[in-house]
Chains A and B, each alone.
Chain A
Amino acid sequence: MDVRHDWGGPKLYNFNFEPVLAGSDQLLIGAWLTIQLSCAAMILGLIVSILCAAGKTSGIAPLRWVIDAYIEIIRNTPFLVQIFFIFFGLPSLGLRLSPNSAALLALVVNFGAYGTEIIRAGIESIQKGQVEAGTALGLSKLQIFRYIIVKPALRTVYPALTSQFIYLMLTSSVVSAISADDLAAAGNDLQSATFASFEVYIVITLMYLAMSVGFSAVFSVIEKAAFKYPLSR
């Protein structure tokens, strides 16, 4: 006979992963939504960063002040408050967004502030002689910016940029707070339907971990493909 003693200590918790398994489709869809949201925010955020970095190094003072103010405000306030402000606050200015668009906008605006500083550091690492050489070769301003400034700058700051990208993906879990669709939101739904809270969140946490490992693998493949020209001979 199976005799179990009760020592009076904390009761052993019976882990129950069945509801999580049953909801695995839901979680995989959620993960896919997080990947899509993060990729979209990365690409748009990178564009914003490059534009702002170009604006900051352009030498037009008022433009620099505006960009500096944007960077300082975003970097010194929490993402959760930013997303609340965009989703709940902006409608009173007439800008009403769906949770998903508000989530994307908040992630892009947030990333832009960090990305700008990273790209600017990259641009400042380019020596003046490079730009002068480009001018001497008869390249247009846009060509110089694209081939002589942006590409080598991106290469220099690539490690910082990719870790910021992964941080963006992890931060995107916060969009579940305005009920935008992502992995954390899928987890919240499953959690409230099954009450297997700990099991649901441990699985989701592992899924986020797998995604950050996956993203860094993809980033190193991109690095090899995009920046394989030699640095110097």
Chain B
Amino acid sequence: MLIRPFGWNEFWIIVMAAQWTIALSAIAFAGGGIGGLFIALARVSDSTWLRLLATGFIRIFQGTPLLMQLFLVFFGMNILGFAINPWLAAAVALTLHASAFLGEIWRGCIEAVPPGQREAATALGLRYYNRMRYILLPQASRIAVAPTVGFLVQLIKGTSLAAIIGFTELTRQGQIINNATFSPFMVFGTVAAVYFVLCWPLSVLARRMETRFSRATAR
């Protein structure tokens, strides 16, 4: 195989691969947002069974490596009769992963709403749906913004593991270019820089929102 130098062309191929990282992160974040909402609601529900089920789900995903979750979904799909597809496996595994983490973060946010709010809503005759929809979730969501953006950074970084099951996103594109150019310092330096450009603004944003929020709630 010919070894070619690392030039602008290779640089742009790596930068353009970020679109797959962004796409995978967006899918996992959207799917995880929906899943996480259900997990969070199950976690604070009155039914013991739902609470146990949600807790178990969270414990399993927080107590095992994301890499193993990816492998299990990847090989598990084959068992269920689907053709092996890294793109789908990565999207499903990261969605489940994000559901568990967002579920746990949002549970904390729902519980952080002062209990008087819930009691007042109940006293006003609001049933479960309206209580959640109009009283608890709007207040919890304000608390949730900063840690949710913080988790998004973790999720974007997590998508890099999809490279190991063979999905060509940013990291895997870096590996491919590295195999052709053999200049790992430049290649992985560039890959790291692209991740930094994606993640750092979000980290700064999360931190700003957190300080602003704690200042607003401090008496």
Contact = CB atoms under 8 A, between A and B. Distances in A.
Interface of A: 9-11, 13, 72-73, 75-82, 84-85, 88-93, 166, 170-171, 173-174, 176-177, 184, 197-198, 201-202, 204-205, 208-209, 212-213
B65 A73 contact: no
Contacts of B191: 81, 84
B95 interface: no
Interface string B172-200: 00110010000111011101100110011
A202 B63 CA distance: 13
A81 B160 contact: yes
Contacts of B158: 78
Contact of B68 (A75, A78, A208): A208
Contacts of A90: 185
Given A73-B196, A78-B158, A84-B184, A201 B64 contact: no
Contact of A174 (B67, B75, B76, B188): B67
Contacts of A88: 178, 184, 188
Contact of A212 (B63, B78, B157, B161): B63
Interface in B66-99: 66-69, 71-72, 75-76, 78-81
Contacts of A85: 184-185, 188-189, 192
Contacts of A11: 81
Contacts of A10: 80-81
Contacts of A205: 64-65, 68-69, 72
B195 A77 contact: yes
Contacts of B185: 85, 89-90, 92-93
A204 B68 CA distance: 8
Contacts of B79: 13, 198
A81 B175 CA distance: 10
Interface string B146-165: 00000001000111110110
29 contacts: A13-B80, A72-B200, A73-B196, A76-B195, A77-B157, A77-B199, A78-B158, A79-B160, A80-B164, A81-B195, A84-B184, A84-B191, A88-B184, A88-B188, A89-B188, A91-B184, A166-B63, A170-B63, A170-B65, A173-B67, A176-B67, A177-B164, A197-B75, A198-B79, A201-B68, A201-B71, A202-B72, A208-B65, A209-B60
Contacts of B60: 209
A85 B72 CA distance: 27
Q: How large is the interface on B (under 10, 10 to 19, 20 to 34, 35 or more residues)?
A: 35 or more
A201 B163 contact: no
Given A81-B191, A198-B75, A72 B65 contact: no
A173 B67 CA distance: 7
Given A84-B184, A85-B192, A184 B161 contact: no
Nearest to A204: B68
Nearest to A199: B75
A78 B160 contact: yes
Interface in B82-139: none
Contacts of B183: 92
Contact of A76 (B72, B188, B203): B203
Given A75-B199, A78-B159, 10 more contacts: A72-B196, A73-B196, A76-B195, A77-B199, A79-B157, A81-B188, A81-B192, A85-B188, A88-B188, A174-B164
Contact of A208 (B63, B76, B161, B199): B63
A201 B189 contact: no
A139 B189 CA distance: 46
Contacts of A176: 67
